[in-house]
Structure 1
Amino acid sequence: MRDAVGKLLLFGATGDLSQRMLLPSLYGLHADGLLPEGLTITGTARSPQSDDEFRAFTRKALDTFLPDDRKDEAAIEGFLARLQYQALDASTIEGFDDLAAKIGDVSGGLAIFLSTAPWLFGPTIKGLQSAGLAGDNVRIGLEKPLGKDLASSREINDIVAAAFPEERTFRIDHYLGKETVQNILALRFGNSMFEPIWNARGIDHVQITISETVGLEGRAGYYDEVGALRDMVQNHMLQLLALIAMEPPARFDGTAIRDEKVKVLRSLRPIPADEVPHVTVTGQYDAGAVKGEIVKSYDEELGKDSRTETFVALKAHVDNWRWQGVPFYLRTGKRMPERRSEIVIQFKPVPHSIFAERGGMLQPNVLAIRLQPEEYVRLLVMAKQPGLDREGVRLREVPLNLSLDTEFAGTRRRIAYERLLLDLIEGDPTLFVRRDEVEAQWQWIDQIRAGWKANDVKPKGYQSGSWGPSSSIALTERDGVTWNE
């Protein structure tokens, strides 16, 4: 049974994530009557503000980032009445008692959303403990980044675990809150036709692409320290891979699903240093044009020379019975031609074509799961073109479409953070990432980075508005595979 808390504490309440995602998401839940009655939301950050000033700040954020059809003055007023604010410098233990006094009685349960710089985790956890805000009825949600490698991730997790055991720790990967990502589970385990061929006998390869048209967008300091591999592959892309590759869980709950995901992540084939240059490609965007707009190179945007990668393509394998020999191609980059997140599964060709002698050309079936900007599931199948076939059988690839936007047009589309914040408040861990998953992900990523260092790999330049360095095309074409573009 879910156990909803009575209070929510938002760290970083005046930051960009809060304005764009957290406050609009919480308002959406309030407007639809999904927040517990009487739930209070306390915002905290370094800047001094009164309660009324924070409410005015929130109103402006809602006015800016909510779609017009979601704005309802009565609902906004009701939501603002839930809010209060307490300034806090989280780097020092002083001030946490005042924060606890502001929050008040937490006997009804408290959920904390912690979005802060990694170096502040230690002082913040100690402050929460000292002020009595880390008891048995308190759970904590952790926004990334949670470390920059396995060692620092373990250090942060140890700090958190000193106050919050695993069952009260909710690590957030916002991709897991996306409706289409959850639809992967429905598609795989709610339909009988896929499971018999969802393995090395039926699938030729899998592609996962997350492309962005933006550059640094105000994240220069953070991004240059991290790069594409750690910013996107280590978390979002490996989580998508795990959902595609996992065994059927016994039931739909946090333990069963995460048990199966971690098995996949631990089965990722290690990439030795001497193989890293052959199965990974790194790039960094040069000047070019994106959507008709001239843009600068990465170094020009950054204001200095850098070897940080803004593009990564790699080939991975999951070494278990289900996936032996099936390559997983992962690709992510900035300043790409379009914004896209998708999973493409290419099935193996039919074992024998009865149409070949009559000129019919078969293409392997392809299942495309688009996560953004559109949301759809599309299965490409072969069909015969109408006609008398006097010059041979004419076959054509046609799509069977499930457009979530169309099929569920009357259903409200949720921001990923709406689901994740509600699950945090209600204590459902299913869509959050467990510690053993995080560490398995880092272990695999660290080996790739060590291989780059050992081989002195330098990112190859690629023109902004392109699909990355030409060597990323060669990565797949060596195996007779073409990126889905």
Structure 2
Amino acid sequence: MSAAQTLLLFGVTGDLSRRMLLPSLFGLHADGLLPEGLMIVGTARHDIGDDGLRDEARKAIAPLVAERKLDAAVLESFITRLSYVAADASDPSSFAALGKALEDRIEGGIAIFLSTAPSLFGSTIAGLEQAGLAGPKTRLALEKPLGQDLASSREINDAVARVFPEQRTFRIDHYLGKETVQNLLALRFGNLMFEPLWNAQGIDHVQITVSETVGLEGRTGYFDGMGSLRDMVQNHMLQLLALVAMEAPAQFSADAVRDEKVKVLRSLRPLDAAKESVIGQYAAGAIAGQPVPGYIDELGKPSDTETFVALKAHVDNWRWKGVPFYLRTGKRLPARQSEIVIQFRAVPHSMFNGRGASLKQNRLVLGIQPEENIRLAIMAKQPGLDRQGIRLREVDMDIRDANAFADVRRRIAYERLLIDLIEGESTLFVRRDEVEAQWQWIDAIRAGWNEAGMRPKNYGAGTWGPAAAIALTERDGVSWYD
């Protein structure tokens, strides 16, 4: 695909656009990475006009300009790329003005970023089609959620596929734009030392944690209809699991990488919901020393929606047979962090036992947020004359992006995803068969909860979830890495 000459942003007046999309596009512009003739057209329901969008953009980007100590002229040169056309995503007939404004740019290619509610996908696509903006030189990016289950996901994907074929459909999971997530592939497949041990013979277990300190934060209607399993596990966490567990692709290309990921997702063993999952809901407690209300109090009504979930998953293939993958995510937990922990097996025999030294298993930790880093825990001898025996100590080899790549600016995840969308590079976007394999596994878990009559267990805000989540790993002799 050639680079698009127009980027059309739906929902441009929304929170995602202000916090992520406009600052990301400005960052790319300031570094000279956007195509020279690229125009950015924003659209939303209210008619704020070009000047309204440009004023909003200046407010959103001003902190970035100050942080990078950039000249105001750089901001103004970006602002000239912006224009605005009003369109109501729920009314296909309102797209006529959009089609007329862009008719001369269709041949140059249009990339569309759709960050509207999934309920509006159908009408939006119909509007694009009626306005002549869904032709072979247009590609479409979709923000999650893509459904609430397999059936609704298929309904959305069918509606999209009617107009946009798979090769022109870009499903976004912003975690895939994070440097450490991409670095996982480089770590595994660019270094000889890891891959020979990256299997059931070398790895004891894997932990993936995505924890949040926030509660509902204004997402009441959305979150209470979804819960943590569908909000976090179905997309972000299963994508991380797939990247950890996938086989080496023959080449770094969109289809080769995604072919290997979907094989992992299809190899996930159906969970025994009662024995291999724990669900919780936060009660009142404290975060960073400040009291916070419980979920029910925030919601204002009774609910059985889970705000915490812990799972013990297995990938049933040759490489991973018998290796548990422990997944944990929740709201109102003690810290905001996303990380992958690879716990290696113990050495088969310790020659140091008779000299008073104990060994710990090597551990690789990939931090995704709030700080991106890679940390490898190894055993090293403690300095000394060893008159009372040899002393070994666990030592961290710490590779922090800020230190190892001090000469390179750390980018917002959406910068990578937006430039890939503009250029038509789909490797870091999610294919339909991946989404459906994820939903199939998630739906089975929810069905298991219903069959077993499981309801969320209370946990205090500011704790690491229900006590049963600790038991989930401890009965295997494993502790969560906090």
Question: Structure 2: which 5+ runs fail to align?
Answer: none
Measured in 1, the distance between the counterparts of 2:26 and 2:100 equals 25
User: Relative to 1, partners in 2 of residues 1:134 and 1:307: Cα closer, same or farther, differing over 3 Å?
Assistant: same
Contact 2:65 2:72 in 1 (8 A): no
Shift of 1:389: 1.5
Contact 2:9 2:42 in 1 (8 A): yes
Measured in 2, the distance between the counterparts of 1:67 and 1:185 equals 34
- 1:442-462 superposed Cα distances (whole Å, 9 cap, x missing partner): 000000001111122111111
For 1:340, the equivalent position in structure 2 comes to: 337
Which has the larger displacement, 440-449 or 352-361? 352-361
Contact 1:206 1:327 in 2 (8 A): yes
Matches within 5 A, 1:7-22: 7-22=6-21
For 1:132, the equivalent position in structure 2 comes to: 132
Residue of 436, 445, 460 corresponding to 2:457 = 460
Which has the larger displacement, 275-284 or 440-449? 275-284
For 2:249, the equivalent position in structure 1 comes to: 249
Contact 1:20 1:65 in 2 (8 A): no
**1:5 matches 2:4:** yes
User: Relative to 1, partners in 2 of residues 1:67 and 1:293: Cα closer, same or farther, differing over 3 Å?
Assistant: farther
**1:311 matches 2:308:** yes
Shift of 1:66: 6.2
User: Relative to 1, partners in 2 of residues 1:66 and 1:214: Cα closer, same or farther, differing over 3 Å?
Assistant: farther
For 1:161, the equivalent position in structure 2 comes to: 161
Measured in 1, the distance between the counterparts of 2:92 and 2:333 equals 44
For 1:229, the equivalent position in structure 2 comes to: 229
Measured in 1, the distance between the counterparts of 2:14 and 2:283 equals 30
How many residues in Structure 1 have an aligned counterpart in Structure 2?
Answer: 481
**1:191 matches 2:188:** no
For 2:278, the equivalent position in structure 1 comes to: 281
Shift of 1:315: 0.3
Matches within 5 A, 1:31-430: 31-63=30-62, 68-69=67-68, 71-105=70-104, 106-271=106-271, 275-430=272-427
Which residue identity is paired with 1:55?
Answer: R
Shift of 1:199: 0.2
Measured in 2, the distance between the counterparts of 1:306 and 1:82 equals 46
How high is the TM-score relative to the length of structure 2? Answer: 0.98
Contact 2:211 2:338 in 1 (8 A): yes
What RMSD, in angstroms, separates the aligned Cα atoms of the two structures? 1.0
Measured in 2, the distance between the counterparts of 1:19 and 1:39 equals 19
Which residue identity is paired with 1:233?
Answer: V
Q: The residue matched to 2:228 in structure 1 has which SS?
A: helix
User: Relative to 1, partners in 2 of residues 1:314 and 1:42: Cα closer, same or farther, differing over 3 Å?
Assistant: same
Which residue identity is paired with 1:30?
Answer: H
Shift of 1:63: 2.6
Contact 1:313 1:332 in 2 (8 A): yes
Shift of 1:405: 1.1
Which residue identity is paired with 1:137?
Answer: K
Shift of 1:70: 5.6
Measured in 2, the distance between the counterparts of 1:56 and 1:226 equals 35
How high is the TM-score relative to the length of structure 1? Answer: 0.98
Q: Percent identity?
A: 67
Which residue identity is paired with 1:36?
Answer: P
Runs of 4+ aligned residues of structure 1 deviating over 6 Å after TM superposition are none
Contact 2:296 2:303 in 1 (8 A): yes
User: Relative to 1, partners in 2 of residues 1:234 and 1:65: Cα closer, same or farther, differing over 3 Å?
Assistant: farther
User: Relative to 1, partners in 2 of residues 1:478 and 1:453: Cα closer, same or farther, differing over 3 Å?
Assistant: same
